[in-house]
A and B are shown apart, each in its own frame.
Chain A
Amino acid sequence: MSDSTKKLAESQTRHRIQPPPEGSVADLIADLVEDLEPVHRPGRLGLPVTAWLCFAAVYSMAALAATEPFRNGSLRSLSAYPEFAAETAVAALAVGVLALAAFLSAVPGAAKPWRTVSWSTLAVGAWLGFYVAGLAGYPAHPVSELGHRQHCFLESQLIALPNAALLLWLTARLMPLRPVLTGALAGCAGAAAPAALMQLACMYSPDHILIYHATPVAITGLSGALVAPLLLRRRNLMPPRRTQTLH
């Protein structure tokens, strides 16, 4: 008998010699077993993350285009200024990292909270770092008022809400044990999508972007952290006792 087989047999014996659960626990197990249904694609986050990113991109773009046209020549700028293309790519990456972190924070044991926070901070920091460099005299794109929108702050904020709401709804279907963290990440991700697109839709000026496009990310993140504990409590409303039926 190999070592691993011996260990497995030992583990099975160890569990068999434990007294079986009695009384209400045994009844609860019987109920839960009866309630069991097959799970398709358990634990896979790829599909919901991709679906949310697609929704956020298409919806934010459509909402921005519906209010005012995008800045003239903004797409051409991507090929004309490699730093600007890199900045936009890092912004898109930050949105993806925030969304993934929100999902991971809603799966028990999938990632340590400090790790999701660190990765998210790093991604957002790298993105905002471009604007700080711009303030220091190294903008990724020539500063101009071309494409200036009157209400870009409000637009970013309002467009963020459905994004964040959808993300919260999707994470509520998992098991968000740290709703404040999940809410904060969902809020940030929801607002980061329009903020990233704003640099193609609105004027390019690092100080304007930091004040009017990036601030909604922090505001929505904070709102998400406050609201999520109330919205994500669904899983905690499971019947606490055997006396309450599951069906």
Chain B
Amino acid sequence: MNRADALHGTDEQRWSQLMAAAHRGDKRQYEQLLRELAVAIERYITRRFGALAFVDDCVQECLLAIHAARHTYDPRRHFRPWVFTIVHNKTIDLLRRSHYRSQSGEDWLRLSFADGAVGADPADELAAGEVLMQIDPSYRDALTLTKIDGYSLAEAAARAGVTESAMKSRVARGIRAAAALLDKGRDRE
């Protein structure tokens, strides 16, 4: 067992114990669990999608979903597959729905990154995400334009020099590719 596996093992044990305490109604332990999960989820998403405003909303959605689904966690089962299945699902949901720039103006780019590196170009920040880095560049551009920059399909299509239906298809394929890559990654979590 390597060091990363050993650390995952201890997280697994701790989180499982904290959730079991939460099931009994222990608010202090539950708060501890949510705080630790918020950090873990942020790291999980940042590693895959880069450090964008997307992360903060996703952390909130994931925490809400974890709270709503806490009764489905069986303490006899592993905690990580349970929690990261929710995180994976919510991340893809948010990616499907979101147009970030239009919602949050120019504040879409976070000022603090896990690695301490701050870039000005959305594409640079996306490149920090290992999932998006592995996607076909045309799909990645489609996702950047529509999901991060917040352009409409027509605007994004005009910028990329393709038809609107081609852009729509690229976005859908990009999301599917991201979901498939997250699925693969989740097996390692």
Contacts and interface: CB of A to CB of B under 8 A. Distances in A.
Interface string A107-126: 11110000000000000000
Interface residues on A, range: 35 or more
A137 interface: no
Contacts of B24: 38
Contacts, number: 130
A24 B67 contact: no
B176 interface: no
Given A25-B38, A28-B63, A36-B25, A109 B78 contact: yes
Contact of A35 (B11, B67, B75, B81): B67
Contacts of B72: 42-43, 106-108, 110, 174-175
Interface stretch (A63-71, A93-101, A224-232, A237-245): A237-245
B102 interface: no
Given A32-B64, A38-B23, A109-B84, A7 B6 contact: yes
Interface string B138-168: 0000000000000000000000000000000
Interface residues of B, number: 48
Interface of A: 7-8, 10-12, 14-15, 18-21, 24-25, 28-30, 32-39, 42-44, 106-110, 174-175, 177, 235-236, 238-242
Interface of B: 6-7, 9-11, 13-14, 22-25, 27, 30-31, 34-36, 38-39, 56-57, 59-61, 63-65, 67-78, 80-86, 89, 93
